Amino acid sequence: MRVYSQKFRKEWLQVREFQGWLAEGSAADRARCTVCHKELLAGKSELLKHARGKKHRTLVARTGPSTLPDQSCLSSVVDEDGLTHELRIVDLRTDSVTQPSREMKKAMMEAQLGDDVFSEDPTVRALEGRVAELLEKEAGLFVPTGTMANLICVMTHCWGRGSEVIVGDQSHLHLWAQGGMAQIGSVHHRSVRNLPDGTFSLTELRGLVRGDQDPQWPHTTLVCVENPHHTTGGKAIPVHWMDELGVLCSELSIPIHCDGARLINASVALGASPARIVQACDSVTLCMDKGLSAPMGSVIVGTKEFISRAVRVRKVLGGGLHQAGMMAAAGLWALDHVAPRLSWDHTHARALAQSVCEEHSSAITVDLKGVHTNVVLLHCDNIRVNAKKLCQRLACVTDAESEELGEQTVVMALAISDTTVRLVTHGDVRKEDVRATVRKLKYVIREYDNMMYLEYKISV
């Protein structure tokens, strides 16, 4: 049996009907439409048929050849029929998924190096001094991760046995650190209820503090606070509340540790310097690999005495690095070039939240006023959709969606509870990604709202 096949011909690029959208495909018998983001069987008659299609002409009229999508944002996948489709993949699970830019990599490769275990890495020393100066503390210490940084601070403050730490019940230290302070540090922790804005009642805190009056009690040694408070939606904790906490803890002679993983985001949201926000805190951690987009690393700051003790804890936890200057250089570059543009991440997050609000949906909602930084929490009604199903739907593209929107966008999100989905904007999210995500969110929300409408019609 004779099988007819047609190879792609470059001279077709000069045909008037094909100009501005036709490109070579993944194989000799494939062509690609850069407007519809799909592959076609090569053959002049097939391509002419595609060019005259209503969907294609609509997209060409809407986008035009001069405003084609940036192909660097797109990934190619092959479907079950062997045709290649171009997907825009927008990863909003967290802000630690960022890739270092070319300029950041250059700074890393050119960094001066030494052995940080001997305190001889000049780039690490520069980053530690820079962050200590930024937060107006005496000294700093570079460590591999934020989780380790917080654990080091807790263990350094709670040097003696029988210590107790008070933490918010929705804080990262309480929920997402595997109970490390108890599991590894032998430190007991007691939780205080976080309010919707990420703070907690200072009156309730006072009632939880225990001294050494009764030998059956652990001794309250430390209070931990998180700013911005991620689990409640990236809320920036007000400066006046931080000051009030400082006054109370000073009265009780209890130090304060601040988990400031995204502290620069809070600074941007509050319009206050990072040092002013943590003025009352005795120790602070700042992550380089979250909002600041570096590959790894966190910096602890505090007094010189506190940091010298923290060095010992870092050693026993395996956090002493050798030629760590490459990672520190990324942090220095991020402070200079990423920190000044964090407001864009906040703007993008607010645009996503605004698009959800505009749908006036009862299936998927958002608290627009609660979007302070780069975090958006979508709340599901758990009747038409729960968090896991919403994440699965955002991560796939249906034929109907592709036909109506004229694009194929995958949005990666994270379910943090049965009814809550988290979206986190970051430095790798571009304006085009935000626009595509907005269109995707609106389409998916209407899908779920129409499900209720159809159920209503059937029941009537």
Per-residue pLDDT of 168-185, as tens digits, reads 999 999 999 999 999 999
According to the model, what pLDDT value does residue 70 have? 46
Q: What is the pLDDT of residue 454?
A: 46
Do residues 195 and 201 lie in contact, with contact meaning Cβ atoms separated by under 8 Å? yes
Residues 353 and 288 in one domain: no
The verdict on 268 and 289 lying in the same domain is yes
Burial of 418 (0-12, 13-18, 19+ CB in 10 A): exposed
Return the structure tokens found at 156.
């350094």
Going by C-alpha positions, the residue among 192, 120, 185 that lies closest to residue 147 is 185
| Per-residue pLDDT reduced to its tens digit, 295-331 | 999 999 999 999 999 999 999 999 999 999 999 999 9
Range among 26-30, 83-87, 195-199 with highest mean pLDDT value? 195-199
- Average pLDDT over all residues of the chain: 91
Q: Say whether both 229 and 291 belong to one domain.
A: yes
Question: What's the confidence (pLDDT) of residue 261?
Answer: 97
In a domain, 3, yes or no: no
Confidence of residue 76 (pLDDT cuts 50, 70, 90): low
Q: Is the pLDDT of residue 72 over 50?
A: no
Instruction: Write the CB contacts of 24 (distance below 8 Å, at least 6 apart in sequence).
Output: 8, 10, 30, 31, 32
Within 8 A by CB and 6+ apart from 15, the residues are: 22, 44
349 and 333 together in one domain: no
pLDDT of residue 73: 59
Average the pLDDT over each of 20-24, 201-205, 396-400 and give the range with the smallest value. 20-24
The reply to whether 235 falls in a domain is yes
Q: Is 5 part of any domain?
A: no
Digit-coded pLDDT (tens) for 224-275: 999 999 999 999 999 999 999 999 999 999 999 999 999 999 999 999 999 9
Q: Is residue 376 predicted with pLDDT exceeding 90?
A: yes
Domain with 199, as residue range(s), is: 102-337
- Local confidence band at 399 (pLDDT 50, 70, 90 cut-offs): confident
pLDDT tens per residue across span 407-446: 999 999 999 999 999 999 999 999 999 999 999 999 999 9
78 within some domain: no
- Say whether both 271 and 171 belong to one domain: yes
Burial grade of 22 (CB within 10 A; 0-12, 13-18, 19 or more): buried
- The confidence score (pLDDT) of residue 56 equals 85
**Band of the pLDDT at 83, cuts 50, 70, 90?**
low
- Residue 18, in any domain of the structure: yes
HEC string of 30-89? EEEECCCCEEEECCHHHHHHHHCCHHHHHHHHHHCHHHCCCHHHEEEEECCCCCEEEEEE
Whether residue 83 is contained in a domain is answered as no
Beta-bridge mates of residue 117: none
Asked whether residue 211 is assigned to any structural domain, the reply reads yes
Both 286 and 432 in a single domain? no
As a whole-number percent, the residues of the chain with pLDDT over 90 amount to: 76
Q: What is the per-residue pLDDT for 23?
A: 85
What's the pTM value of the predicted model, to 2 decimals?
Answer: 0.82
Q: Examine the domain organization and report whether 191 and 300 are in the same domain.
A: yes
Residue 65: pLDDT band with limits 50, 70, 90: very low
Q: Place 279 in a pLDDT band, splitting at 50, 70 and 90.
A: very high
CA atoms of 437 and 434, how far apart (whole Å) = 5
Exposure string for 350-359, b = 16+ CB within 10 A, e = fewer: bbbbebbeeb
Q: What percent of the chain has pLDDT over 70?
A: 92
Residue 211 to residue 162: CA distance in whole angstroms: 11
Last residue of a domain, one of 317, 337, 357: 337
Q: Is the pLDDT of residue 2 over 80?
A: no
Q: Quick check: helix, strand or coil at residue 165?
A: strand
pLDDT attached to residue 74: 64
Domain boundary among 271, 306, 337: 337
CATH number assigned to the domain comprising residue 114:
3.40.640.10
The whole-angstrom separation of Cα 373 and Cα 267 is 10
The number of distinct structural domains making up the chain is 3
Residue 228 and residue 115 share a domain: yes
- 370 — pLDDT class (breaks 50, 70, 90): very high
Same domain flag for 272 and 302: yes
Torsion over CA: 319, 322, 328, 330 (sign): negative
Same domain for 272 and 293: yes
Better-predicted residue by pLDDT, 37 or 72 = 37
* pLDDT of residue 377 exceeding 90: yes
Confidence of residue 455 (pLDDT cuts 50, 70, 90): very low
| Rg of the chain in Å (alpha carbons) | 27
DSSP structural state of residue 194 = B
Q: What is the DSSP letter of 3?
A: -
pLDDT at 43: 82
Q: Which of 303, 337, 371 is the last residue of a domain?
A: 337
The answer to whether the beta carbons of residues 268 and 425 sit under 8 Å apart is no
Asked whether residue 79 is domain-assigned, the answer is no
The CATH code of the domain that includes 377 is: 3.90.1150.10
pLDDT of res. 68:
39
Question: Is residue 131 domain-shared with residue 253, that is, in the same domain?
Answer: yes
Q: How far apart are the C-alpha atoms of 356 and 444, rounded to whole Å?
A: 10
- Residue 10 is predicted with a pLDDT of 76
* pLDDT value of residue 105: 96
Whether residues 273 and 249 share a domain: the answer is yes
